[in-house]
Amino acid sequence: MKELIENIKKNEGFVGTPYNDTLGILTIGYGTKLPLSKEEAEVILKMRLKSKIKSLEKQEPFINKLPLHVQEILAEMAYQLGVNGVLKFKKMWTALKNFDYATASKEMLDSKWATQTQKRAEELAKKMLNS
């Protein structure tokens, strides 16, 4: 199976952005036709989320001491904003290091992110507040 995968990768080539293949079909990656199925999209979501969580834990190892639902809030923010994006919430991180979830919630809402994705930000901030 490993050799098969390597042969397909070699013959298809990798393109990380959507392109039209020789038949004009929208394609990405190693010859993956678009649109994706819901199952394929979920595999990608899980893979990327796992990577974001690992990177976030590397940058802020203390998050493993936080309640699981707080870790999940941070993981969702990292998925949406990228790890570097969520790390820019300096006052939120200071509050989290002090286990001050009310201030962390307030700082989440005091952001450009909260104005751009208001419903999501309010939902996550409410979960944070209730920690």
pLDDT, one tens digit per residue, over 2-25 is 999 999 999 999 999 999 999 999
- At what angle are helices 90-97 and 101-109 packed, to 10 degrees? 170
Q: Residue 100's pLDDT band (boundaries 50, 70, 90)?
A: very high
pLDDT range class, residue 82, cuts 50, 70, 90: very high
| Cα–Cα distance measured from residue 86 to residue 128, given in angstroms and rounded to the nearest whole number | 15
Query: Considering the entire predicted model, what is its pTM?
Result: 0.89
Cα-only R_g, the chain: 19
Q: What residues does each domain of the chain span? A: 2-33, 45-129
Average pLDDT value for the chain:
97
Mean predicted confidence (pLDDT) in 26-53: 96
Count of residues in the chain: 131
Using CB atoms within 10 Å of the CB of residue 42, give its burial: 0 to 12 exposed, 13 to 18 middle, 19+ buried. exposed
The residues pairing with 120 across neighbouring beta strands, listed in sequence order, are none
